[in-house]
Amino acid sequence: MIIEKFYPAIADTDGLRHMNNLSIQYWLEKARNPIFKICNPSLLFENWNQIMVRSEVDFLSQIFYGKECEMKTGVSKLGRSSMHIYQELYQEGRLCARSTVVTVFFDYRAQKSTEIPSGIRSELEKLLV
pLDDT at 96: 98
2-125 belongs to which CATH class? alpha beta
Contacts 24+ apart (CB under 8 A), 29-37: 31/2, 31/4, 31/71, 31/73, 31/87, 32/73, 32/85, 32/87, 32/101, 34/2, 34/73, 35/2, 35/73, 35/75, 35/85, 35/124, 35/127
**CB-CB contact of 120 with 41 (8 Å):** no
Query: Across the chain, what does the average pLDDT equal?
Result: 96
Q: For the beta carbon of residue 93, count every other beta carbon within 10 angstroms.
A: 6
Domain coordinates of the chain in residue numbers? 2-125
- Reported as a single tens digit per residue, the pLDDT across 49-91 is 999 999 999 999 999 999 999 999 999 999 999 999 999 999 9
Read off the pTM: 0.93
The H or E element that residue 52 is part of is strand 50-59
